[in-house]
A = this chain, B = another copy of it.
Amino acid sequence: MIVGLGNVGRAFLRLLIAKETELRRRYDVRWRLTGVATRRAGWLADPDGLNPIAILNGHWPNPHAQPARNVREWLEKARADVLFEASSLDVQTGQPALEHLAAALELGAHAITANKGPVVHAFRELTALAGERKKKFLCEATVMDGVPIFSMFPLGLPATDLQGFSGVLNSTTNVVLTEIEKGRSLDEAVKRAQATGVAETDPAADLDGWDSAVKVAALAIVLMGVPLKLEQVQRTGIRELSEEKIRSARAAGLRYKLVCRAVRRGDTADCTVQPELLLASDPLANLEGTSSAIRFDLDVFSLSIVEHNPGIEATGYGLLADFVRAVHP
């Protein structure tokens, strides 16, 4: 069951097909695609299984696919065990993804999301609901693709106190800043990021720091357990920086990056997203293209995780990894 067949949903479906044998052999996991939903095609279900390759090639609706009127009817017709949410983000409400995930859990399916909205707006509620139904609500793909961030806590780092974290988590601003350093204008830089598939048609959410703000909020809520609201993240995008400023910093051995930070303050966390000047030798300053990095400051030590120039498969892999974690006996 997949909601959303954009780049992420399609990448996930390709991986699911490519790893079919491995999933069966290593994890005894078998799967069947019983439903797909997109804005254009609506809610389509077939409990006997839709043909995933035909769907990737755009040959659908399948003649056996039954259209449903809404997410609940769709989940029921498809007899779903797992829902994968890969629809596009609504920063302010997390909807309708939030409703999809809640419906899945209520009807007894695991709920796995690549959409950050529901994590920021309803992590506690969805986790509690999952606990009641003895199902999983997982969200690894929402930050740094399939890199184990959420799944590293708590049992990768038990009995630690996460005091803060900092990172560069948005690819579009990374690419745009590098292109401006090379002499391009903001507009040209954005077009270049769009041409390589890094930036979306509307790059505002990236340039204005919304994507980063949602990520820092998601991390603080999940990993620090603080009841943070998105509005509490102090957010400054990169549009305020003049091209001249970016280039002269570069010439002086410094680089601007859109940096996310969170620091624990009692029962909450101070979270910021803003362009910061970093020394060229700073590991965060060396990130190029789609690479991203995060540093965690724990009471016992600090560690950083870097993802090196991933493609879209990496995000699809985040959904696949959560799938194994949800259903592996």
Contact = CB atoms under 8 A, between A and B. Distances in A.
Interface of A: 15, 19, 22-23, 26-27, 145-148, 151-152, 155-160, 280-281, 283, 286, 295, 300-311, 313-314, 317, 320-321, 324-325, 328
A205 to B, nearest CB: 23
Contacts of A320: 158-159
A23 B160 CA distance: 10
13 contacts: A22-B159, A145-B301, A151-B156, A155-B324, A155-B325, A155-B328, A158-B328, A159-B324, A160-B317, A283-B286, A300-B317, A301-B313, A302-B307
A148 B146 CA distance: 16
Identical copies in the complex: 2
A157 B321 contact: yes
Contacts of A157: 146, 148, 321
B313 A302 contact: no
A286 B148 CA distance: 24
Contacts of A308: 295, 301-304
Contacts of A306: 283, 303-306
Contacts of A295: 308
A63 B237 CA distance: 66
A131 to B, nearest CB: 16
A153 to B, nearest CB: 9
6 A-B pairs closest in CB distance: A148-B156, A158-B324, A301-B314, A302-B308, A304-B306, A300-B317
Contacts of A148: 152, 156-157
A293 to B, nearest CB: 8
Given A283-B306, A295-B308, A302-B309, 4 more contacts: A27-B159, A146-B301, A300-B314, A301-B308
